[in-house]
Structure 1
Amino acid sequence: MKVFEIPSHIPADLVRDFDFADMRDGSDVYAHFKSLHDEPDIFFTPRHGGHWVVTRYGDMEAILMDNIAFSSRHQTVPPMPITLTLIEWDGDLHADARKVLAPFFSPKSVSNLEEVARNLTISLIEGFYDHGECDFVKEFALKMPIIIVMSLMGLPDEDTPYLMQISEDIVRSTDPEVQGAAFQRVFDYIANDVMPKRRAAPGSDIFSAILGAKIENGRRFTDEEIISFGAVLIAAGLDTVASTLGFLTKFLAENPAHRQTLVDDPRMINNALEEMMRRFHIANIARVVAQDMEYNGLTFKAGDRILIPTSAAGIDESRYPDPFRVDFERGDKRTLVFGRGPHQCIGSFLARTELRVFLQEWLKRIPDFSIKPGEIPIAVPGKANCLRYLPIVWPV
Structure 2
Amino acid sequence: MQESVVAARTRIARAARAAVIPLALIVSLFFLWGVANSLNDILIKQFKKAFELSDFQAGLVQSAFYLGYFVFALPAGMFMRRYGYKGAVVAGLALYAAGAFLFWPAASVHTYGMFLLALFVLASGLAFLETSANPLMTVLGPPEGAARRLNLAQAFNPLGAITGVLVGRHFILSGVEHTPAQLAAMAPAAREAYLASESAAVQVPYLVIGLVVCLWAVLVLLARFPRTRADADAAASTAMQGGPATTLRRLLGNGRFVFSVAAQFFYVGAQVCVWSFLIRYAQDSVPGMPEKTAADYLTVSLVLFMIGRFAGTALLRKVAAAPLLAAFAAANVPLAALAVLVPGMTGLYAMVALSFFMSVMFPTIFALGLEGLGDDARKLGASLLVMSIVGGAALTALMGLVSDLAGIHKAVAVPLGCFAVILAFALRARRRGR
Compute the TM-score of the two structures, normalised by the length of structure 1.
Answer: 0.31
Between Structure 1 and Structure 2, which shows a larger proportion of strand residues? 1
Structure with higher Rg: it is 2
Give the structure with the higher percent helix.
Answer: 2
